[in-house]
Amino acid sequence: MQPAILIPVSSPPEAELLQRGVSPRWGARELAKHLALPGLLRERPAPETVATGIAELDALTGGVPRGALTEIFGRPSSGRTSLLLSLMAACTRRGEVCAWVDASDAFDPHSAAAAGVELERLLWVRCRNLERALRATDLLLGAGGFGLVVMDLGDIAPRQARRIPLTSWFRFRRAVEPTPTVLVALEQEPCAGSCASLALRLEPAGAHCFPAPQECAPAHACLLRGLRVRAEVVRSRLHPARPPRSAAAAFALRAAWAG
């Protein structure tokens, strides 16, 4: 067997590096900033975030990211829809067009208008089943031009939502990455796994009630004024060094009949 021949790979001389504005004492990270080396990994810049309109949640999460998938999940009456309506109202006030993919025909435009959403800037896609909702979300992300796309799976049974192929979540993530769109999945339980850049769990922590007028209700009757909700960051790729933390946030809910 012939001995192996080692051919040394010469590096550019120090004078040549200096002419190119590169210091020979730089490490890999500094070289990656100045040289287009295919073998070096580049750090992805932090995505732009959008405020939800709820100060407590914005302080907790820093806002929801553009060009990424966000999961907001919790059981019914946990404030999921109220949070999304607050975010959508903020987007439409900035002149952005939003889309609401309704998998179970549960969206109420009157409540959205009462929350401040400009309905003329909202595309409501009534799918009425999970398969059509996935297809509609794929088409909307491919078309582009939306500031916010909501995939409402809140009334879909968790067992059925968990059957969504992981390839679908990866396709959504890849489709939204090069765009300024905020993609939010509204669910009872998390389903997207590592495809979600931000996963936020909401839990009801109580209710704000006040006595009903005695002329129209019994003395013991109370009217619901709002909910107290606890929010917890379960996963965040925006700030990976921060551990998951929770904080209480009060949501002021206003029914459409309240005016």
Residue 238's pLDDT is: 79
Domains in the chain (CATH in brackets) are 49-258 (3.40.50.300)
Cα gap 86→52, rounded to integer Å = 6
> Residue 203 CB: number of other CB atoms within 10 A?
15
Higher-pLDDT residue of 205, 96: 96
* Mean pLDDT for the stretch of residues 75-88: 91
Whole-number average pLDDT of the chain: 80
Note whether 32 and 26 are within 8 A (CB): no
Average pLDDT over residues 146-171: 95
Q: Write the pLDDT tens digit of every residue in 12-28.
A: 554 454 445 545 555 55
Supply the pLDDT for residue 42: 52
Handedness of CA 82, 158, 196, 106 (dihedral sign): negative
pLDDT(6) > 50 = no
Contact 78/203 with Cβ under 8 angstroms? yes
Q: What is the pLDDT of residues 40-66, one digit of tens each?
A: 445 566 778 999 988 888 888 889 999
Which residues, in sequence order, are CB contacts of 31 under 8 Å at separation 6+? 22, 37, 40
d(CA 87, CA 177): 20
> Which of the pair, 253 or 45, is modelled with greater confidence?
45
Q: b or e along 26-53 (b: 16 or more beta carbons within 10 Å of the residue's beta carbon)?
A: eeeeeebeeeeeeeeeeeeeebebbbbb
- 222-236 and 98-102 beta bridge pairing: unpaired
Written as one letter, the residue type at 84 is L
pLDDT tens, position by position, 177-191: 999 999 999 999 999
Would you say residue 209 has pLDDT above 70?
no
Is 162 a residue whose pLDDT tops 80? yes
pLDDT the model gives residue 5: 45
Q: How many CB atoms lie within 10 A of CB 55?
A: 11
pLDDT band at residue 160 under the 50/70/90 scheme: very high
Span 92-147, pLDDT tens digits: 999 999 999 999 999 999 989 998 999 999 999 999 899 999 999 999 999 999 99
DSSP string, the chain: -PPP-----PPPPHHHHHHTT--TT--HHHHHHHS--TTS--PPPPPPEE--S-HHHHHHHSSEETTEEEEEE-STTSSHHHHHHHHHHHHHHTT--EEEEESSS---HHHHHHTT--GGGEEEEE--SHHHHHHHHHHHHHH---SEEEEE-TTS-HHHHTTS-HHHHHHHHHHHTTSS-EEEEEESS--SGGG-SEEEEEEEEEEEEEEPPTTTS-TT-EEEEEEEEEEEEEEESSSTTSPP-EEEEEE----GGG-
Report the percent of the chain where pLDDT is more than 90: 52
Residue 167 has pLDDT above 80, yes or no: yes
Task: Please give the structure tokens belonging to residue 207.
Answer: 């209710």
